[in-house]
Amino acid sequence: MAGGDSWGHSEKIIKPGYHIRPKHDLHGLRQRRTDNHKGNLAGELPLTAMIDMFSILVIYLLMNFSATGDPFFMGKPGVILPKAGESKMMETAPLLSFAKGTFYLDALTPDGGQLKIEDDSPNQQKIIQALQNLQNQIKQKDPAAFDGKLNLQADENTPLLYIKRGMAAGTVAGWTSINFVVEPQKEN
């Protein structure tokens, strides 16, 4: 008989494949183990996504790099720096900013930490105390490292009273070399 039985089955006996799968089977793992696959043992890397990610990273780093030390990354919202006829390169030092009635102190501590203080009181006691503590930390680590430099940043329309208060807070705390953060005049 070349046909089959009354249920439509053929007489040819076919060896069944592996048909029992566990609940948590990895897709294609059994095929890879038995060499019954297309020749790809390693998975494919998503190169397009990685190239996009590194391109964005490079663009971000290029946009945020400043060889001249421009304070674009430190600016408070709404602060327009005054223009200067003559300026010199800004040095790394604690930054005392004034914006919208509040003084802000941003500095790096000798152990690599970040110091951020806000003070809206008229006598800036928090700022003075933080500057004195920072000075003591610097002197404890290396007595010759303290140079007393402080950068002062404010909007070009800030009343002189607030500039004097910021300078007074710095000098009372022992930071006597005060530099003003300005926008240098463009050379033609």
Angle at 97 between CA 186 and CA 99, to 5 degrees: 95
User: Does the pTM of the predicted model rise above 0.85?
Assistant: no
Tens of pLDDT, residues 41-52: 555 667 888 899
Pairing of strands 102-108, 114-119: antiparallel
| Residue owning tokens 């402080």 | 150
**CA-to-CA distance for 168 and 122, rounded, in angstroms?**
11
Q: What is the bridge-based pairing of β-strands 183-184 and 102-108?
A: unpaired
- Tokens at 12, concatenated: 């040819």
78 vs 171: which has the higher pLDDT: 171
pLDDT digits (tens, 9 = 90+) for 44-79: 667 888 899 999 999 888 877 666 555 444 555 666
pLDDT of residue 180: 80
Nearest residue to 106 (alpha-carbon basis) of 130, 77, 80: 130
Look at residues 73, 149, 151 and name the one whose alpha carbon lies nearest to residue 105.
151
- Percent pLDDT > 70 in the chain is 64
Instruction: Answer whether 150's CB lies under 8 Å from 178's CB.
Output: yes
Whether 135 maps to a domain, the answer reads yes
Q: What is the pLDDT of residues 147-162, one digit of tens each?
A: 888 888 888 888 888 8
Do 118 and 148 touch, CB atoms closer than 8 A? no
The residues, any chain, with a CB within 8 Å of residue 145's CB and separated by 6 or more, are 110, 138, 139
> What's the rounded mean pLDDT across residues 103-123?
84
Q: Give yes or no for residue 143 having a pLDDT over 50.
A: yes
Q: pLDDT value at position 1?
A: 46
Structural domain span for residue 121: 71-184
Contacts of 32 (CB under 8 A, 6+ apart): 41
Structurally, the chain folds into a number of domains equal to: 1
d(CA 150, CA 155): 17
In a domain, 114, yes or no: yes
CATH number of the domain bearing residue 75:
3.30.420
In a domain, 35, yes or no: no
Please provide the average confidence, as pLDDT, over all residues in the chain.
75
Q: Flag whether 80 is in a domain.
A: yes
The verdict on residue 110 lying in a domain is yes
